[in-house]
């Protein structure tokens, strides 16, 4: 479904991604783990088309999307929940959600709104509240709900558990597992490598702009190098 080949990206003269190869198949949950500064966010942004790519290919559904602007990738079904939630603070919760379905019709948007409210009941009672007044956990739910409004077939999640209390982290990961069960492919980037690999079908380990290791989630969890570098074992 998503295929990334020899992808390179740079900030000025400093390379951030040095030839990334990876793929995500339909319905799969793939985790990407790596230290701070390894290039995880850069990779997700490049996939979404908001970070320039200096070499390589990104294909979605077999089509080259390298030249496609971000909005076309969203329309194709590839939607990202950015790091740090990035909700539209002064706008209401419901407006945030409806903007997630900006590209879709009114009726479809209303149907999606109901589904999202069913998934995140906390948001219903706060629908008129400004998004900036929500707690961190609620903002994360809003950010995920907003992305789901676009009906993604591939959801790119950047650090969904960052800065959240452990109880909320469990909730977010349960929700991720639920989405995957509903046949949405998920590409998950998280500092919480243990939780991410535990629910992932496959995983990639990113180090200073290169994929250094790949395997099933279980295999990576058991790997000595991964255990010492990312799981603190």
Question: What does the binding site for another protein look like in residue numbers (CB under 8 A)?
Answer: 48-50, 69-71, 74-75, 79-80, 82, 86-91, 95, 98-100, 102-103, 132, 146-147, 150
Minimum CB distance to another protein smaller for 90 or for 166:
90
Minimum CB distance to another protein smaller for 140 or for 220:
140
Minimum CB distance to another protein smaller for 86 or for 216:
86
Closest by Cα among 25, 33, 8 to 60: 25
- Distance in Å, CB of 122 to another protein, minimum: 20
Contacts of 124 (CB under 8 A, 6+ apart): 117
- Distance in Å, CB of 159 to another protein, minimum: 14
- Distance in Å, CB of 35 to another protein, minimum: 22
Distance CA 85, CA 6 (A): 29
- Distance in Å, CB of 71 to another protein, minimum: 4
Burial of 232 (0-12, 13-18, 19+ CB in 10 A): exposed
Instruction: Record the tokens describing residue 218, joined without a space.
Output: 């279980």
Q: Determine contact, residues 205/212, Cβ cutoff 8 Å.
A: yes
Minimum CB distance to another protein smaller for 120 or for 230:
120
């Amino acid at each position: 479904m998503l295929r990334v080949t020899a992808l390179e990206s740079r900030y000025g003269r400093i390379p951030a991604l040095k030839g990334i190869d990876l793929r995500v198949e339909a319905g799969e949950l793939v985790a990407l783990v790596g230290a701070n500064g390894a290039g995880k966010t850069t990779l997700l942004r490049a996939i979404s088309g908001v970070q320039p790519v200096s070499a390589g290919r990104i294909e979605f559904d077999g089509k080259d999307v390298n030249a496609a602007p971000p909005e076309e990738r969203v329309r194709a079904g590839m939607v990202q929940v950015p790091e740090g939630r990035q909700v539209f603070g002064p706008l209401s919760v419901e407006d945030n959600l409806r903007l997630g379905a900006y590209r879709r019709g009114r009726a479809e948007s209303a149907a999606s709104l109901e589904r999202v409210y069913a998934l995140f009941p906390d948001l219903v009672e706060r629908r008129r509240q400004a998004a900036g007044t929500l707690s961190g956990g609620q903002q994360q739910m809003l950010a995920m709900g907003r992305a789901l409004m676009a009906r993604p077939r591939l959801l790119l999640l950047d650090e969904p558990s960052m800065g959240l209390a452990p109880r909320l982290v469990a909730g977010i990961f349960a929700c991720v597992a639920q989405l995957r069960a509903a046949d949405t492919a998920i590409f998950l980037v998280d500092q919480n490598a243990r939780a991410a690999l535990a629910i992932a079908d496959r995983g990639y380990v990113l180090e200073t702009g290169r994929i250094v290791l790949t395997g099933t989630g279980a295999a990576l969890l058991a790997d000595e190098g991964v255990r010492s570098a990312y799981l603190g074992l």
